[in-house]
Amino acid sequence: MDILKFDISSKFASFTKPHYNSCISTYPHIHKCAILGIIGSIIGIEKKQPIKDWTVMPRYYEELKDIDVAIVPEHIEFPVYSTKITETTGLVSGETGGVLVTSMDLLCSPKWTIYLDLKDNKYKDKIIKYLINKECIFLPYLGRNSFPATIDNVELLSGENITKPNKIDSFYFEEDFKHYEDEDEESYSGQIFYTPVGYRKNLNLYEEKKVVLNNDNIEEVNTKNNLIKVKDKTLFMIWKRPPYWWSFIIFKG
């Protein structure tokens, strides 16, 4: 299979969590929805959509959601810097106008290596062409348009499916793997957090899943068809799994 690989970085990044209070917090790493948005901007997919229609998902997502993504960060975590921002345009404060002052968390000097399995997406050739030739229709950025993204080291590589990995170099779904219980805790290094993997149909809200990045040895694999080997990397391709039907049931005690 063909796998498109590239590095993406910036001086700062902020991927806003939809659940925050006084400070606009950020996810600790870039996520699949943000990556698809960046790809969409590069090839010129308009972001515009009816703002008040929550049943309409972003066009870039509808067009690119079948693309699988693997994310390998340069570091397990990046420093977080909190800054104050002042909004004077009225876009946030609405019809009342005025000035809005709030805090925002920023990731400092983030960098990730991204792997894309474009499959038979209708934009496949265009995505490959634009990334390799360093072209874009709209300028890509990391969360906010004041953080332009730098894309380097673009390669079209060959990947193959595997079923029994020892370790995984990218983020992966925690529920799909079991680790050896006798691991040396002192040698453990990793991170666990919830990240967007897609949008919920008819709600236009993120669907989040718990992902893991660590150096544990894998004992058991409970997934198929989304583990691949690319050069010396073992990658988990993040895909939007349909939610279980019982996840919508509310139990009352």
CATH number at 139 reads 3.30.70.2660
Residue 154: domain span: 2-159+231-241
158-202 pLDDT, tens per residue?
999 988 888 889 999 888 877 665 555 554 457 889 999 998 877
Largest CA distance in the chain: 59
Mean pLDDT along residues 233-243:
75
Would you place residue 48 in the very low, low, confident or very high pLDDT band (cuts 50, 70, 90)? low
Would you place residue 235 in the very low, low, confident or very high pLDDT band (cuts 50, 70, 90)? very high
Would you place residue 16 in the very low, low, confident or very high pLDDT band (cuts 50, 70, 90)? very high
pTM score of the predicted model = 0.85
> Tokens 């996520």, residue?
31
Residue 236 lies in a domain: yes
pLDDT score of 97: 57
Instruction: Give the integer Cα–Cα distance in Å for 164 and 167.
Output: 9
Residue 193 lies in a domain: no
Give the residue from 72, 75, 152, 153 showing the smallest Cα distance to 109. 75
Residue 251 lies in a domain: no
pLDDT score of 180: 60
Residue 177 lies in a domain: no
Domain tally for the chain? 1
Burial (CB < 10 A; 0-12, 13-18, 19+), residue 194, is middle
Residue 222 scores a pLDDT above 80: no
Mean pLDDT along residues 57-72:
92
